[in-house]
Amino acid sequence: MDDSMNPPDASAAAHNPVDGVLIAAAGTAHTWARAAPADRARALAAVADTLEEARPELIATADRESHLGTARLNGELTRTTFQLRLFADQARSGAYYDVRIDRADPNWPTGPRPELRRYRTALGPVLVFAASNFPFAFSVAGGDTASALAAGCPVVVKAHPGHPELSRETAAIVRRALAGAGAPDGVFALIEGEQAGLDALRHPALRAAAFTGSERGGLFLARIAADRPEPIPFYGELGSTNPVVVTERAAYGRTQEIASGYAASLTLGAGQFCTNPGLLFVPAGEHGLVERIAALLRAAPTAPMLGNRIAEGYRTVAEQLSGLSGARRLVWPADDHQPAPRLLAMDVDAFVAAGSAASAECFGPLGLIVTYRQLADLVPVLAALPGQLTASVQGELAESSELGALTAVLADRSGRVLWNQWPTGVSVTHAMQHGGPFPATTTPTTTSVGSAAIERFLRPVAYQGVPQDLLPVPLRDDNPWNVPQQEQKQGVVDAFVAQPSNSAVAM
């Protein structure tokens, strides 16, 4: 991969099929970015409608390729069309333009202020690396695609090899629906193969990339994005172990509820969720909680995993974790090759001694239970964890004085803190945050789920003294699209007392 740093070679690009895709995307970027919000919204809704019409065929293909089961896949497709409609709504509202208008002000404290109008416009062509574990919701027509299209960016999806047929069927639907809704050609494309993905990531016309997958793969791609002649934003969601802390009182008062909640969350979808709670901290006096969890996991059915490579990775990491000094196997399949649920336990000293090896993500239904003595002892241990998508507490309100420091440290290390709930339900809403400190994501300032995900694909542009006829529509006084426009009042800096200055020079 040493040639990864070379600038693109124009003659090579001419023979590279990805080049045509990116050129087409770039050619349509301006039109799509300037389209009326209602037109983009209609196009996204058309994609949702057309996916719904094809639901039976899509579910059949998805189940054949992913083994996730029709119940789960139907729910996921519903989530996917909901996401498309949520981002259609986002596009239609125009709030994401974040229009700010400063009228000219001759008395502005630092010197006469010109008229300034600022909005956020589309970044340009976006490359989406599809994930395997959500063949709908984080794949071809998933949240990254929906939010980038809503922002006004053309999208090129690099298909995940785990579900090639579904990727092609979905892409055909997306293309047909977009074309039917009048979207310009080139606004959406599917590419396949690792080399095509790398070529697209290095293409000079690309303006951003989004990724959901492993830490290793995501970091590799993030560094390619940073090392390009023109670095571009890279939004990688890389996963986490999603620690859950059970307090003594909760373990005592809700033993069975917590055991069954944990076992269900851990084994949901064969544990193949970024938010899978792989790490469970329980008090040393745990009131039989651990044995109840173990019993439930022993009885849990073994679900097939997404593919052989993932199943093999699961077994390998499980083996590594179980080999750590102080780790005990509480639940382990007789046949080592089965992707059955596994449960390990160690005490907090062994966990600390093992360092980063103990907090490595194990993609699959493996739980590592860590027993602690006092909540206060646990706080520095949690502070040293790598960044997390989620962190949860199973506690009791009466303990809240002890829990302040605990929830604070969990918020410092994660993007979402849960109380008496389990992390595997990622609701698609306005206040959802799916992100977190590295390695949960490469860009902790953003989210990849929820309506704020659109912000990743926008950049601000200001217009200074530009006549109405030359302004982009959202910035015009007549505001024909009726987008929110925020006008700052003069004298907003009310604490400011103009200081004597010898200079009339604007900075």
Minimum gap (Å) between residue 503 Cβ and a copy of itself:
3
Between 305 and 346, CB nearer to a copy of itself:
305
- In the shown chain, the binding pattern of residues 19 to 58 toward a copy of itself, with x for contact by CB under 8 A and - for none, equals -----------x---x----------x------x--x---
Minimum gap (Å) between residue 159 Cβ and a copy of itself:
21
* Residue 67 touches a copy of itself, criterion: CB under 8 A: no
Nearest in space to 212 (alpha carbons), one of 474, 453, 497: 453
Minimum gap (Å) between residue 322 Cβ and a copy of itself:
26
Contact 186, 24 (CB under 8 A): yes
Phi, psi of 189 (to 5 degrees): -150, 155
Minimum gap (Å) between residue 436 Cβ and a copy of itself:
8
Q: Which of residues 252-291 bind a copy of itself (CB under 8 A)?
A: 268
At which residue do the structure tokens 């979905």 appear?
170
* Residue 452 touches a copy of itself, criterion: CB under 8 A: yes
Residue 395 DSSP label: -
Binder among 231, 285, 355, 484 for a copy of itself (CB under 8 A): 231
Q: Which of residues 184-223 bind a copy of itself (CB under 8 A)?
A: 219, 222-223
Q: Is 274 a catalytic residue?
A: yes
Enumerate residues 6+ apart whose C-beta is below 8 A from 188.
145, 149, 154, 155, 156, 157, 171, 174, 175, 178
Q: Which of residues 143-172 bind a copy of itself (CB under 8 A)?
A: none
What is the Cβ-side half-sphere exposure of residue 122, based on CA atoms within 13 angstroms? 28
Nearest in space to 246 (alpha carbons), one of 94, 370, 108: 370
* Residue 461 touches a copy of itself, criterion: CB under 8 A: yes
* Residue 476 touches a copy of itself, criterion: CB under 8 A: no
Between 463 and 481, CB nearer to a copy of itself:
463
Between 117 and 292, CB nearer to a copy of itself:
117
Measure the CA–CA gap between 105 and 491, rounded to whole angstroms: 9
Minimum gap (Å) between residue 185 Cβ and a copy of itself:
19
In this chain, which stretch among 105-113, 166-174, 332-340, 345-353 interacts with a copy of itself, using CB under 8 A? 105-113
Give residue 196's Cα distance to chain centre.
22
Measure the CA–CA gap between 22 and 129, rounded to whole angstroms: 15
Binder among 1, 445, 478, 480 for a copy of itself (CB under 8 A): 445
**Apex CA 388: angle with CA 384 and CA 390, to 5°?**
125
In this chain, which stretch among 108-116, 155-163, 334-342, 345-353 interacts with a copy of itself, using CB under 8 A? 108-116
The CA dihedral of 311, 316, 321, 324, to the nearest 10 degrees, is 160
Dump strand ranges (E) for 89-135: 99-102, 116-122, 126-129
Nearest in space to 188 (alpha carbons), one of 60, 50, 4, 15: 50
In this chain, which stretch among 167-175, 244-252, 311-319, 490-498 interacts with a copy of itself, using CB under 8 A? 490-498
Between 45 and 327, CB nearer to a copy of itself:
45
Binder among 27, 36, 54, 75 for a copy of itself (CB under 8 A): 75
Measure the CA–CA gap between 264 and 300, rounded to whole angstroms: 9
Q: Which of residues 380-419 bind a copy of itself (CB under 8 A)?
A: 387, 397, 400, 403-404, 407-408, 411-412, 414-419
- 3-class DSSP assignment, residue 19: helix
In this chain, which stretch among 107-115, 318-326, 327-335, 370-378 interacts with a copy of itself, using CB under 8 A? 107-115
Measure the CA–CA gap between 54 and 14, rounded to whole angstroms: 36
In this chain, which stretch among 85-93, 162-170, 187-195, 476-484 interacts with a copy of itself, using CB under 8 A? 85-93
* Residue 118 touches a copy of itself, criterion: CB under 8 A: yes
Site for a copy of itself (CB under 8 A): how many residues? 114
Binder among 23, 36, 60, 101 for a copy of itself (CB under 8 A): 101
* Residue 494 touches a copy of itself, criterion: CB under 8 A: yes
Phi, psi of 311 (to 5 degrees): -60, -40
469: tokens are: 């006829």
Minimum gap (Å) between residue 30 Cβ and a copy of itself:
7
Give the torsion sign (CA, 209, 211, 215, 217). negative
The span from the first CA to the last CA of the chain, in angstroms, equals: 46
In this chain, which stretch among 118-126, 305-313, 314-322, 329-337 interacts with a copy of itself, using CB under 8 A? 118-126
Contact 148, 457 (CB under 8 A): yes
Minimum gap (Å) between residue 383 Cβ and a copy of itself:
10
Minimum gap (Å) between residue 370 Cβ and a copy of itself:
22
251: tokens are: 């373990």
124: tokens are: 């340009």
One of 65, 169, 215, 237 is an active-site residue; which one? Answer: 237
Contact 490, 105 (CB under 8 A): yes
Catalytic positions: 237, 274
